[in-house]
Structure 1
């Protein structure tokens, strides 16, 4: 299919420019903070909503795989929690925040089991993937250079 409409192409291009890979470590950190929360936190709520939406989208993005009933329940719960209103009462707010974290962590674990998620290589590890002594830090002695040949 060839798309020639400039507005469609601009929309796709904008989406590609704004896309970032899912950061499972950050999501787990935010979920851990939610379990420790004792007062309403608007920033943490927004972050958890983003994680839940992203996880639900990842779970349902691949039409090739049928999700089991438990996973679909988690996806529906994630969408409901991400789109729902937060209670005005502080205790109920914190309770809902913790429920968001629980559902997110369960869905994250389930997607990892189903291999719908793949953790990207951290940037600092990518920088180390060169033929440098740092890359070969596990060697007891550095390898001998191939040139010049021994005499």
Structure 2
């Protein structure tokens, strides 16, 4: 077959150089969701013995991070169509917006609310098959 030359459009990248740098930076900062780590943190705050004062702020930060990821997973998988998941997402967003209280008892109560909500949202997302159960 003798070919006739057809004009081919010049390829144009879908993103600019700066947009590609932004995507690369986000990929480098990304870490996969770790359900086992979430459950470890939930167990630490829901245990009969509350975490030490030194660990409180770090646990609150990690649980807030878990809630953020769970909410992102719920939204991306359209889990909010499930009324229970929608209610848990709303509770997670509300708790995430609340700062860690100053008093010891108030901080522990806040940690436990974060832990319960993270655990319930994780369980619900697993039940409606938006997440796999941790190994």
Structure number having the greater helix percentage: 2
Aligned residues: 120
Q: Which residue of 2 aligns with 1:60?
A: 75
Partner secondary structure for residue 53 of structure 1:
helix
The CA distance in 2 between the partners of 1:95 and 1:31, in whole Å, is 13
Q: TM-score scaled by structure 2? A: 0.79
Q: Mind listing any 5+ residue stretches in structure 2 that lack a counterpart?
A: 1-11
Q: Which residue of 2 aligns with 1:26?
A: 37
The CA distance in 2 between the partners of 1:66 and 1:101, in whole Å, is 20
Partner secondary structure for residue 81 of structure 2:
coil
Q: CA RMSD in A?
A: 2.1
- Structure 1 residues 15-41: Cα deviation after superposition (integer angstroms, max 9, x where no partner): 122222110011000011011225541
Q: TM-score scaled by structure 1? A: 0.71
In the alignment, which of 66, 77, 84 is matched to residue 98 of structure 2?
84
Change (3 A) 1:80 1:31: same
- Structure 1 residues 10-67: Cα deviation after superposition (integer angstroms, max 9, x where no partner): 111121222221100110000110112255411111111100111011100134x652
Q: Mind listing any 5+ residue stretches in structure 1 that lack a counterpart?
A: 122-151
The structural deviation recorded for 1:8 is 1.2
The CA distance in 1 between the partners of 2:134 and 2:88, in whole Å, is 24
Q: Which residue of 2 aligns with 1:9?
A: 20
Change (3 A) 1:100 1:66: closer
Q: Which residue of 2 aligns with 1:94?
A: 108
- Structure 1 residues 113-144: Cα deviation after superposition (integer angstroms, max 9, x where no partner): 111113577xxxxxxxxxxxxxxxxxxxxxxx
The CA distance in 2 between the partners of 1:82 and 1:97, in whole Å, is 11
